[in-house]
Structure 1
Amino acid sequence: MSTKPYLIGHYTPAVDEITATGLTVEGSLPPELTGRLIRNSHNPKPGVTPTHWFKGSGMVHGIRLREGRAEWYRNRWVRTPALDGAPYLTEHGPDLTASTAGTHVVEHAGRLLALCEANLPFELTRDLDTVGAYDFDGKLRSAMTAHPKTDPVTGELHFFGSSPFPPYLMYYVADAKGQVTHSFEVPGATASLKHDFALTRHYVVFVEGTVTFDPTEHSGIPYSWNDDQPARIGVMPRGPEGAGEVRWFPIEPGNMLHAGNAYEDAQGRIVLEGPTVDREGFQLSWNWWVGAPGRGTEPNTRSYNRRWVIDLAAGRVDERITDDLAVEFPTLNEDFLGAENRYQYAVSFPDQDGYGGYGIVKYDRTTGTRRVHQAGDARLPSEAVFVPAAGATREDDGYLLTVVSDLKQDASQLLVLDASGLDRIATVHLPRRVTGGIHGSWIPDTDTGTDASDS
């Protein structure tokens, strides 16, 4: 039996692909939840032990809801060359198709894309079968971030490609029809790890933390903490004219994997939030990711929500930790992406001292308070995906969808929570325990053109 923490417990890989129909529902599913919840996970094939959690091959899990029914669950490996052992580095350089495709899955312009930040995206069918690598009709000339952003106003998809070698950072925008309208190299970027970024109505916001390229790191993910790497935030005007106007602001050492949101406040300052780790937290987390001694007990250790306020006029950044609960995977009502949001959601983890526990957290940024839906003993929830309610009038009128791994029952459920009070509305019982995973998306039928005759 493996002792790698990312191959045991909640993260034990599924060994096969299944399809199950007519799932059991407790409670009442809101009829507007008509679509698919698709979630990704690192899930190596049986007999394969990756050297890093992030090196595990991608497996997508889908749950189909329609008008109060849970019609099916299915899981499928993303069939990339890497699934069959193809190397990323070849004698001709990186193979951008040799992807794990195991970090995220998003929909844009009718295409369902499985993502890994070191590679090209992989297109999937509605039933989660693999179509193949997708390069935006040849206009994507680099890897693609696993965290693209869809502008809720314009429908544009904003994304970047980062590399440990020049060009370090490429920026892309695709219109609502999926056509890349402009792309360029972002000046002044370094080899610092850039996993996520943020948008406001007028700016693109990049974060370079204290983790950077390290050729001596042999886990397959060549990055490590480096005190000589300056931590900073880059602010660039949106649009093709922004290429030469990026400004970099120094911040405290740390590393942010995921941005909660960013916006411009009434004073014209940019407010950015996201969980960050310090040096100790990063090292404990990294040791978990590679299965090294001295690791934390969870994949995210000492990860606390942080707020940066960037004063462009004064040329300074004020920052502070806003909570003492260990959290990751921040989400929000994405109608507020790039605009001031009151509510933010996250997954909580017990910290290195045993404080906290598994749960879904709701932050009220106006009152500074938090509410927690405790998952229960040996129950790990996944990233909480927000879905607006029909006729919503408030920011938190909607539902949170989270897939829970239950070790005691060796089972999983899809929980539907009221996003306002975090009360459980419905439970969908799944036919297997779903591997603890990373990111996913709710894809309503209106986004894919699916009608009542579709599977």
Structure 2
Amino acid sequence: MTEHTNPYLTGLFAPVQDEVTAHDLPVTGRIPDGLNGRYLRNGPNPLGIDDPAAHHWFTGAGMVHGVRLREGRAEWYRNRWVRSDSVAERLGEKASHGPRHQDKDFAANTHITRFAGHYLATVEGGSLPYELDAELNTIGPFDFQGTLPGGFAAHTLLDPASGELHAVAYCWAYPYVQYLIAGTDGRIRRRVDIPVEGSPMMHDFSLTSGHVLLYDLPVVFDLERAGAGPGLPYTWDAGRRARLGVLPREGRAQDVRWLDIEPCFVFHPMSAYEEDGRITVHLVRYDRLFDASRNGPDEAPPFLERWTVDLAAGTVRQERLDDRPVEFPRIDPRRTTGRHRYGYGVLEPSEGYGTAWARGHLAEAGGSGAGGSGAGASTTAPAKIERVGIGLVKYDLERGSSEVHRFHPDGDVGEAVFVPADPGMSAAEDDGWLLSYVFDPERGATDLVVLAAQDVTAGPVARIHLPARVPIGFHGNWLPDGG
């Protein structure tokens, strides 16, 4: 596989080469009143790849793309590489000051959040998050004022009741995973080391008002694969027991109840809550990953499911809610840990999953388009393309219905973040907006799209036109002013 045929270096995945700052962005439509803050999203943007054939999407250097909205204006767009040590070196800059965890320098390319006044770019696997400033410049590694006992996690959850930040961290070299709670003072106040065998990938977790849910599933680190050429060093272990761990939030490691479930893998839960002795979890499930292919995820489509945990009986009932592939599930963040009616996700193509999708490749668009100067840009379709969004879906989880807005069939739709019309609880659960980066192939650049969450089928109320393409990436957040 050459640089021109690696699907993660071509088309909509191709990295952009320049850091851009643009002010007073053009807008089609009207930016809603009350959207005062920053929409930030993190994702891989490889820089100076030594072996293009061995490159995997998950490993690219992190780049945060941000738009600043205030009083009906789109004040700026910025994209900045997260200056890990290796990125700083390739850019000819000095490494940032700050702590390191066992000399790990993974690309902080997965998520971006703000906690206790700190903007944090996160990644899993044993590395520290990187702190950025409000204009996306890197400050340096962040260890929660010296209280973080090891590496951190890609995904965190902010408990709206307490204001505390929760995470589950893992590293392939450790015989445990760590449940961590950071207090509102920005310091880790609680740590629970939970023994697990076999080095599982534990990308995310779930949180209710009383419990933490741990996904110990058959995707595990494979030391032999780590040095065996292209692809991720993770594999599907068909003999591994799949189980869901249920830990009381103030419990000890020995208090975890491990419940058997059907073999599967979960990257992203939507959310979880508990009522009357049962925990309800909505999540995206894959039947199998990293078995026949190391270049995925491309072996099985992801489907939305509901899992119901009966705490008294110690059972988990798993049921599919949608037969369309979907990923990147989100809810109203005010409902985290509590009952929620609505959820949102990115629809993916149903036909030919895991086969050649020429729609993921763009013809040369020049400048900031997919052609231009992006590494690996070419005029031939790659052999395989995955994780391409075609629309946004709103689920009514009580009625079992959904609404969809589809975008240009040759474009791409990123994760949608829900922004409530009122940050308090006075606004209805779906009274607000969905924000997402959407690639417009006719412009050869990306828009920040704003949809009214109560009527996603009506189309965007605003399109904020960015001067550049945002490559297919991972996760982000709306960070309102005053937080």
The residue that corresponds to 2:280 in the other structure is 271
The residue that corresponds to 2:429 in the other structure is 395
| Aligned partner (choices 442, 447, 465) of residue 429 of structure 1 | 465
Residues 227-260 of structure 1, C-alpha deviation per residue, up to 9 Å, x if partnerless? 1111110000012x43331100010011000111
CA spacing shift, 1:26–1:220, aligned 2, 3 Å: same
1:336: how far off?
A: 0.5
Aligned mates of 1:334, 1:377 — CA distance in 2: 30
Residues 350-391 of structure 1, C-alpha deviation per residue, up to 9 Å, x if partnerless? 035369971001110011011111012212111001100037
1:97: how far off?
A: 4.3
1:282: how far off?
A: 5.0
Structure 2 residue 253 is the aligned partner of structure 1 residue 253: no
Asked if 2 retains the 8 angstrom alpha-carbon contact of 1:416 and 1:425, the reply is yes
Letter in 1 for 2:191: S
The residue that corresponds to 2:216 in the other structure is 208
The residue that corresponds to 1:302 in the other structure is 301
The residue that corresponds to 1:117 in the other structure is 124
Structure 2 residue 373 is the aligned partner of structure 1 residue 371: no
Asked if 1 retains the 8 angstrom alpha-carbon contact of 2:274 and 2:338, the reply is yes
Asked if 1 retains the 8 angstrom alpha-carbon contact of 2:234 and 2:294, the reply is no
| Aligned partner (choices 54, 62, 68) of residue 58 of structure 1 | 62
Alpha-carbon RMSD across the aligned residues, in angstroms, is 2.2
Aligned mates of 1:42, 1:282 — CA distance in 2: 20
Residues 173-221 of structure 1, C-alpha deviation per residue, up to 9 Å, x if partnerless? 1112212111120145652210000100000111111211211223473
The residue that corresponds to 1:382 in the other structure is 414
The residue that corresponds to 2:344 in the other structure is 345
Larger displacement relative to structure 2 (171-180 or 228-237): 171-180
Structure 2 residue 140 is the aligned partner of structure 1 residue 132: yes
Larger displacement relative to structure 2 (340-349 or 205-214): 205-214
1:51: how far off?
A: 2.3
CA spacing shift, 1:304–1:85, aligned 2, 3 Å: farther
TM-score (norm 1): 0.89
Aligned pairs, how many?
429
The residue that corresponds to 1:171 in the other structure is 179
Asked if 2 retains the 8 angstrom alpha-carbon contact of 1:169 and 1:189, the reply is no
Aligned mates of 2:278, 2:89 — CA distance in 1: 48
The residue that corresponds to 1:90 in the other structure is none
The residue that corresponds to 2:239 in the other structure is 228
Asked if 2 retains the 8 angstrom alpha-carbon contact of 1:31 and 1:68, the reply is yes
Letter in 1 for 2:471: T
**Which structure 1 residue ranges, 4+ long, deviate > 4 Å from structure 2?**
93-97, 281-286, 354-357
1:55: how far off?
A: 1.0
What percentage of aligned pairs have identical amino acids?
41
Asked if 1 retains the 8 angstrom alpha-carbon contact of 2:101 and 2:150, the reply is no
1:9: how far off?
A: 1.3
Aligned mates of 2:85, 2:438 — CA distance in 1: 30
| Aligned partner (choices 391, 411, 415) of residue 359 of structure 1 | 391
Aligned mates of 1:47, 1:157 — CA distance in 2: 34
Structure 2 residue 475 is the aligned partner of structure 1 residue 439: yes
1:164: how far off?
A: 2.0
Where structure 1 has 5 or more consecutive residues not aligned to the other structure, the ranges are 87-92, 290-294, 448-455
Q: Give the match's secondary structure for 2:482.
A: helix
Asked if 1 retains the 8 angstrom alpha-carbon contact of 2:213 and 2:246, the reply is yes
Q: How does 1:159-198 map to 2 (within 5 A)?
A: 159-188=167-196, 190-198=198-206
Q: Give the match's secondary structure for 2:269.
A: coil
Residues 297-330 of structure 1, C-alpha deviation per residue, up to 9 Å, x if partnerless? xxxx411112211111011111111110101100
Q: How does 1:15-54 map to 2 (within 5 A)?
A: 15-46=17-48, 48=50, 49=52, 51-54=55-58
CA spacing shift, 1:103–1:250, aligned 2, 3 Å: same
Q: Give the match's secondary structure for 1:192.
A: coil
CA spacing shift, 1:285–1:388, aligned 2, 3 Å: farther
Q: Give the match's secondary structure for 2:252.
A: helix
Aligned mates of 2:18, 2:405 — CA distance in 1: 32
CA spacing shift, 1:357–1:150, aligned 2, 3 Å: closer
Q: Give the match's secondary structure for 1:270.
A: strand
Letter in 1 for 2:87: L
1:285: how far off?
A: 7.2
Where structure 2 has 5 or more consecutive residues not aligned to the other structure, the ranges are 91-99, 355-387
Structure 2 residue 113 is the aligned partner of structure 1 residue 106: yes
The residue that corresponds to 1:70 in the other structure is 74
Asked if 2 retains the 8 angstrom alpha-carbon contact of 1:6 and 1:288, the reply is no
Residues 327-360 of structure 1, C-alpha deviation per residue, up to 9 Å, x if partnerless? 1100000111111100010001103536997100
Aligned mates of 1:394, 1:284 — CA distance in 2: 45
Q: Give the match's secondary structure for 1:216.
A: helix
Residues 73-126 of structure 1, C-alpha deviation per residue, up to 9 Å, x if partnerless? 01000010132579xxxxxx9845412100111100000000110211000010
CA spacing shift, 1:101–1:175, aligned 2, 3 Å: same
Of structures 1 and 2, the one with the larger relative CO (CA 8 A, separation 6+) is: 2
Residues 396-443 of structure 1, C-alpha deviation per residue, up to 9 Å, x if partnerless? 000000001233431110100011111321110001111111000111
